[in-house]
């Protein structure tokens, strides 16, 4: 997985640095790989850190470009993408990395999965 060399977040979001260091990955394939390896405790910890800050983070992102060049904006967007992709596993799937009553999600490989964000 890619190491985030510029793991800086926008002012006021420094408290999310620990979860960003783990979850904010620049491509969907990297975020998926991390999600497939996560367990219930991982999803719960991510949700517990993000949920109280999500509204503020989304409010910040609404004024950012769709493909930000600035590292703090980009890291914030990667973190929001990771949360959107991981939250259902905590909220709907009982902490499982698998989707119940579905085919193995690892079979789905998006053509754009290695594109940033």
Structure tokens at 16: 């999310």
Question: What integer pLDDT is reported at residue 105 of this predicted model?
Answer: 64
Question: What integer pLDDT is reported at residue 3 of this predicted model?
Answer: 40
| Residues forming beta bridges with residue 116, ordered by sequence position | 27
**70-93 pLDDT per residue, tens:** 999 999 999 999 999 898 877 777
Flag residues of the chain having pLDDT under 50. 1-5
How many domains is the chain built from?
Answer: 1
Domain hosting 21: range is 14-103
Total residues belonging to the chain? 117
Classify residue 111: in a domain, yes or no: no
In angstroms, the CA 41 to CA 64 distance is 31
Classify residue 1: in a domain, yes or no: no
Question: What integer pLDDT is reported at residue 6 of this predicted model?
Answer: 57
pTM score of the predicted model = 0.80
In angstroms, the CA 80 to CA 1 distance is 18
60 burial (CB, 10 Å; 0-12 / 13-18 / 19+) is: buried
């Amino acid at each position: 997985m890619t190491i985030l060399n510029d793991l800086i977040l926008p002012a006021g979001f420094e408290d999310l640095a620990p979860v960003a260091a783990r979850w904010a990955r620049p491509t969907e394939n990297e975020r998926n790989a991390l999600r497939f390896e996560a367990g219930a405790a991982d999803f719960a910890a991510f949700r517990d850190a993000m949920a109280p800050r999500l509204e503020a983070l989304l409010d910040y992102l609404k004024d950012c470009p769709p493909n930000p060049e600035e590292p703090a904006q980009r890291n914030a967007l990667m973190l929001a993408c990771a949360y959107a992709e991981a939250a259902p596993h905590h909220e709907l799937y009982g902490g499982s990395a698998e989707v119940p009553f579905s085919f193995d999600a690892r079979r789905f490989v998006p053509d754009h999965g290695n594109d940033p964000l």
